[in-house]
Amino acid sequence: MSAPNAAGWRPSLGQAERAENTTLSGDYGLMLEEGLSFELGAADKCGVDIDYADRSPIEGLARFLRSEAPALPGLTEPEVVRHYTRLSRQNYAIDLGPFPLGSCTMKHNPRLNEKMARLPGFADVHPMQPQTTVQGALEVIEQLADWLMKLTGMASVAMSPKAGAHGELCGLLCIRAALDARGETRDVVLVPESAHGTNPATAAFAGFKVETIPATPAGRVDVEALRAKLAPNVAGVMITNPNTCGLFEPDMREIADAVHAAGGYVYCDGANFNAIVGKVRPGDLGVDAMHINLHKTFSTPHGGGGPGAGPVVLSEALAPFAPLPFVTRGADGSVRLVEEENAGEGHAQAFGRMVAFHGQMGMFTRALTYILSHGADGLRQVAEDAVLNANYVLRACEDLLPAPFAASGPCMHEALFSDAGLAEGFTTLDIAKGLIDEGFHPMTVYFPLVVKGAMLVEPTETESKAGLDRFITSLRSLAERAKAGDESLHSAPHFAPRRRLDETLAARKPVLVWQGDAAAAGTPSRSEAGGR
Ligand SMILES: *Cc1c(COP(=O)(O)O)cnc(C)c1O
């Protein structure tokens, strides 16, 4: 182990592994190491000078006085700023390079979106403000809702759900309310085996039983198997289109007709809408409900505490059951927020609310900015370029990495490879970790489950050809090394702030609370549970 660095923090175990390269400080060039805030600070230190009060400053509250000091690390402001800035530099971001995570649509977040979202009239609104003072904000919600309905060919939209998965729940609750209104208790939802994990989880959470529909060898929903499962207890199906194998489901209309004839509803997982926006309207395919991940198709940021907005478009059959509140435009052109159930105004049999207020204003503003700056023709080009880029990656790598469905034609917006054919003992994980050394965020790995060692690459339309070529060169070289049995790949990443982590242990036994000296004494610590 090397010496403690200037902050008094001792570099973690893994750095000692870089024996020849050890520096006195523990930092490497401009790659700065960083401990936990508790390792840097101390409970008896304080960043500001305050005189301790000799009695409770508020009479009558003395019984709430702390009996123990709070377990805070005690850092000064510059220490805190450096701590979080150093940590942020160890992370990867869409503003640093490509993020080829399949199914996630990690596209560039345009700065114009950010500029608009920061306008005080949008950024500073409070959900309890009188409606007359937020007419501009309501106008943004209404215009975005209008675009989403037109782009999808659907009758209505619930704007308040906070994410794709939350939108799935909203859609299934609409289906449940519609069944209740018909006096029917259907309790089964059919989900294809290639589905994203949120689909069966949402169906189960909403109280339905999940039955799986198999895939055909060509990676599509097996329509005959689906037909065989349709019965009076089937509430509906949840189908992703384009699906998670990166393929369009050409039988969607036939599937929807069969489900409707059997009295069920069609939920479409719209996470992959980026591949078809402006080209196909899900409403024309018989869809009853579909969530739209604004952070995927419409370029709002991922992360930062949650995606923020997953509006759900609804067919005429489900529109009356959509949740409150919603924005509506009156005959005089003014916009209004409807908070209470009202037979005359749509959402007449609203099932309730998804959230306390109206949805995520910041994301609505960004998404509408993106839509208006592209226009209808620009959005169509988004889909075309996203699909073109994915096919470029597919054809550039399929000679080295088997592409299970490539024989059946072009893919949609993501290229799917398998790790079959790598040398004995080499897997998708080795390729993914090798990509980190090459300076790329890995692709989606081991999903969808229907493909062995799946690698799902989604370049999105915002990568240039030069950028794609750089990625392809790295991916091809890693595939060649894994085919040749290059052992060094097994211990990649070699150049990242942390080496190969035990992700299973970190997920199963997360250590989320600083354990003081106990951690140093060898109980599960960050170095075992994931850190180096
Ligand atoms: C991203 C995604 C979801 C979930 O969306 P969130 O906004 O992350 O909740 C569901 N299905 C598919 C296919 C996805 O890619």
Comparison of pLDDT for 331 and 270, the residue scoring more: 270
Q: Say what the pTM is.
A: 0.89
- How far is it, in rounded angstroms, from Cα 437 to Cα 430? 11
- How far is it, in rounded angstroms, from Cα 148 to Cα 377? 15
Q: Which residues of 267-299 are buried (b: 16+ CB within 10 A; e: fewer)?
A: bbbbbbbbbbbbebbbbebbbbbbbbbbbbbbb
Mutate to test the pocket of ligand 1, among 198, 294, 413 (most ligand atoms within 8 A of CB): 198
Ligand 1 lining (C-beta closer than 6 Å): 103, 163-165, 196, 198, 240, 244, 269, 271, 293, 307, 310
3-state DSSP assignment of residue 152? helix
Residue 23: both structure tokens together: 């520096």
Kindly give the number of the ligand 1 atom that is closest to the alpha carbon of 105.
15
For the cut 70, the answer to whether the pLDDT of residue 367 exceeds it is yes
- Tens of pLDDT, residues 440-484: 999 999 999 999 999 999 999 999 999 999 999 999 999 999 999
pLDDT at 479: 98
Q: CATH topology for 381-499?
A: Aspartate Aminotransferase, domain 1 (3.90.1150)
Q: Give residue 279's pLDDT band: very low, low, confident or very high (50, 70, 90).
A: very high
pLDDT at 306: 56
Distance 163 CA to ligand 1 centre (A): 8
Percentage, residues of the chain above pLDDT 90 = 73
Find the farthest-apart pair of alpha carbons in the chain and give their distance in angstroms, rounded: 79
Distance 271 CA to ligand 1 centre (A): 5
Distance 13 CA to ligand 1 centre (A): 37
Kindly give the number of the ligand 1 atom that is closest to the alpha carbon of 240.
13
Residue 482: both structure tokens together: 């894994």
Residues 6+ away with beta carbon under 8 Å from 154 = 148, 281, 282, 283, 287, 290, 313, 314, 315
- Tens of pLDDT, residues 285-311: 999 999 999 999 999 999 754 568 999
| Burial zone of 503 (CB within 10 Å; 0-12 exposed, 13-18 middle, 19+ buried) | exposed
Write out the H or E segment, with its range, that includes residue 337: strand 335-338
CATH of region 133-369? 3.40.640.10
Distance 292 CA to ligand 1 centre (A): 9
Q: Whose CA is nearest to atom 15 of ligand 1?
A: 103
Distance 191 CA to ligand 1 centre (A): 15
Tokens 């699909």 sit at which residue?
Answer: 387
pLDDT at 56: 56
Q: Note whether 528 and 505 are within 8 A (CB).
A: yes
Start-end of CATH 3.40.640.10 domains in the chain: 133-369
pLDDT at 307: 67
CB atoms within 10 A of CB 345: 13
Which is it for strands 444-445 and 156-158: parallel, antiparallel or unpaired?
unpaired
Q: Give residue 520's pLDDT band: very low, low, confident or very high (50, 70, 90).
A: very low
- Tens of pLDDT, residues 13-22: 344 455 556 7
Strand partners, 326: 338
Residue 455: both structure tokens together: 């690698």
- Tens of pLDDT, residues 133-189: 999 999 999 999 999 999 999 999 999 999 999 999 999 999 999 999 999 999 999
Mutate to test the pocket of ligand 1, among 99, 101, 103 (most ligand atoms within 8 A of CB): 103
CB atoms within 10 A of CB 472: 17
Q: Whose CA is nearest to atom 7 of ligand 1?
A: 164
Listed residue (404, 384, 379, 383) closest to 394, CA to CA: 404
Q: What is the mean pLDDT of the chain?
A: 89
Comparison of pLDDT for 30 and 161, the residue scoring more: 161
Start-end of CATH 3.90.1150.10 domains in the chain: 381-499
Percentage, residues of the chain above pLDDT 70 = 89
